[in-house]
Amino acid sequence: MGSLDEALKAFRKGVPVLIYDSSDREDEVDYVVYGGAVDVDIIYEMRTLAGGLICYAMGREAVQALKLPFASDYLQRVEPLAKLVKIPRYGEPPAFSVWVNHVSVVTGIRDADRATTVRELHVVTKLVYEGNVEKAKQKFYEEFMAPGHVPILAERGLSIRRGHTELSLALARLAGVIPSAVLAEMLVKGRQLTYDEALQVSREYGYPLVRGDEIVKEVARRVGPPQLGARPS
Which positions are catalytic?
30, 55, 90, 101, 149, 185
d(CA 119, CA 133): 18
d(CA 206, CA 111): 23
Contact 68, 98 (CB under 8 A): yes
d(CA 210, CA 20): 6
Number of helices (H), then strands (E), in the chain: 9, 9
User: CA distances (Å), 66 to each of 37, 53, 204, 219, in order?
Assistant: 22, 23, 40, 26
Angle between helices 164-175 and 212-223 (to 10 degrees): 50
HSE value, Cβ hemisphere, 13 Å, CA-based, for 143: 17
Contact 88, 27 (CB under 8 A): no
User: CA distances (Å), 101 to each of 115, 146, 147, 225, in order?
Assistant: 10, 7, 7, 37
